[in-house]
Amino acid sequence: MQLAVIGFARDVIGWKDANTTENDKKTKHPVIHLMPKQKKFMAKRAYGGTMRLGSWDAMVKKGTRAYEIYKKYGQLKNAEGLTSERHRHRYEFNNQFSQDFESKGMILSAKSVAEDLVEIIELPQNSHPFYMATQGHPEYKSRPLKPHPIFLAFIEAVSKK
């Protein structure tokens, strides 16, 4: 998701210097940045189990492709769109730029319940056949005979092309 956000910022919004602060601390457009809670850990060089780890709840917006996918494959905990995904990272979408992305057509289709962090982004199907990315790690919930719904939906979309 992080690279998809950077690419969109550079190519669609026009911010050629957009980057993650992990790679460029001086970028004028830090669209991906270190989570505030993580700054303390990094300052202390506390790298061990200090990342955003484990399963985190998120709300998926109704009317989005992500909502349709999670609903189709029974991955919603309720009709409002609650789901959860596993994580392992320190850097996140910078919510300071949410309006800039949304005004150019990106859909911020899921946000974490606890911290309001962007979890899934997508573009409308009329502008791209399957442009979706997640901050979580769907591979952690996949099994050989039971792949994650996002992978299944991607394969389905590709098979139609």
Does the predicted model carry a pTM greater than 0.85? yes
Rounded to whole angstroms, the Cα distance separating 16 from 5 reads 12
Can you identify the CATH homologous superfamily of domain 2-159? Class I glutamine amidotransferase (GATase) domain (3.40.50.880)
pLDDT at 1: 92
Question: What amino acid occupies position 102?
Answer: E
75-112 pLDDT tens trace:
888 988 898 887 665 778 999 999 999 999 999 999 98
β-strand 19-20 against 30-34: which pairing, if any? Answer: parallel
Show me where the domains of the chain are located: 2-159
- The percent of residues above 90 in pLDDT, for the chain, comes to 56
